[in-house]
Amino acid sequence: MNQKAARINIAIDGPAGAGKSTVARMVARDLGYIYIDTGAMYRSVTLKALEAGLSMDDDAAVGKLANALDIVLLPGKDGQQVVVNGTDVSSRIRTLDINRNVSYIARLESVRKQMAELQRRMALAKGVVMDGRDIGTHVLPDAELKVFLTATPRERAIRRFKELGDEPGITLEQLEREIAERDRLDQERDIAPLLQAPDARLIDSTGRTIDEVAEQIVQWGLAIARTISTEEK
Ligand code: DC
């Protein structure tokens, strides 16, 4: 990338399984930006809340627990490495148990407030690609590029099913139903629901390759960064 191009922030939102994290990681790599997986942060809080035996709707208790967590996201070989209070939890936050509980934790006001603050701080220096549900609408409303990435529930279930490997422990049909339920919880919650920002560009990744989608976002990002650099001259 042109050294003189301005650094921008890129927000990628969308439902579960739309390909956000893979695409966001590729875009960050191509632009030399930092990738931030905000879902991993909610998953980390969920893991710790389950371990502590907390009720998934106890806002005060889970908020207090979240406040005491040190969540660090590091670039890893196979995606983002997630370290909580010094322990690598990268694989433990990707289980069916976490999938089933995370939407409840993500509804809690005190948790959302803390995560959003942390995410904003991470993006202060610009040059981040952040994926989640409310990045373009709440966390980074001034992001220079906002993308809403989606795909049909069937296609998203097929992708998640493949990720679960040889012993998925669930049928594709069940997974599709669980994904639809998670969409519903994410879209209908009161605080920062999953929503396309009015100024976000929509990409439907059904039937498109991850490479195509990532390349499209990189091109948009470069064009915006160039325009800003020209205006700043
Ligand atoms: O992207 P993911 O599947 O890892 O996200 C896990 C959950 O966290 C998902 O149910 C929605 C929630 N989430 C959220 O509410 N806001 C974000 N910015 C990111 C994730």
More confident call, 175 vs 76? 175
Residue 193 has pLDDT above 90, yes or no: no
Residue 42 has pLDDT above 50, yes or no: yes
- Give the residue whose CA is nearest to atom 10 of ligand 1: 103
Over range 26-35, report the average pLDDT.
96
- pLDDT (tens digit, 9 = 90+) per residue, 44-69? 999 999 999 999 999 999 999 999 99
Residue type, 183: D
Instruction: Look at residue 229 in the predicted model and tell me its pLDDT.
Output: 85
Contacts of residue 58, defined as CB under 8 A and 6 or more positions apart, other chains included, come to none
Q: Kindly give the distance from the C-alpha atom of residue 17 to the centroid of ligand 1, in angstroms, as a whole number.
A: 11
Nearest one of 142, 148, 140 to 201, comparing CA atoms? 148
CATH of domain 9-232: 3.40.50.300
CB of 99 sitting under 6 A from ligand 1: no
- pLDDT (tens digit, 9 = 90+) per residue, 125-177? 999 999 999 999 999 999 999 999 999 999 999 988 888 888 878 899 999 99
| DSSP string for residues in 22-87 | HHHHHHHHHHTPEEEEHHHHHHHHHHHHHHTT--TT-HHHHHHHHHT--EEEEEETTEEEEEETTE
Please list the residues that pair with 201 across neighbouring strands: 147
Q: What is the mean pLDDT of the chain?
A: 93
- Give the residue whose CA is nearest to atom 1 of ligand 1: 39
- Give the residue whose CA is nearest to atom 20 of ligand 1: 39
More confident call, 78 vs 227? 227
- pLDDT (tens digit, 9 = 90+) per residue, 83-108? 999 999 999 999 989 988 999 999 99
Residue 2 has pLDDT above 60, yes or no: no
CB of 106 sitting under 6 A from ligand 1: yes
CB of 179 sitting under 6 A from ligand 1: no
Q: Kindly give the distance from the C-alpha atom of residue 19 to the centroid of ligand 1, in angstroms, as a whole number.
A: 13
Q: Kindly give the distance from the C-alpha atom of residue 204 to the centroid of ligand 1, in angstroms, as a whole number.
A: 19
CB of 54 sitting under 6 A from ligand 1: no
Over range 63-84, report the average pLDDT.
91
Instruction: Look at residue 4 in the predicted model and tell me its pLDDT.
Output: 66
Q: Yes or no: say if 145 and 217 are a contact pair by the CB < 8 Å rule.
A: yes
Instruction: Look at residue 111 in the predicted model and tell me its pLDDT.
Output: 97
The closest-lying atom of ligand 1 relative to the alpha carbon of residue 17 is 3
Which residue, chain included where needed, has tokens 């603050």? Answer: 117
Instruction: Look at residue 3 in the predicted model and tell me its pLDDT.
Output: 53
Token reading at 225? 């960064």
Residue 70 has pLDDT above 80, yes or no: yes
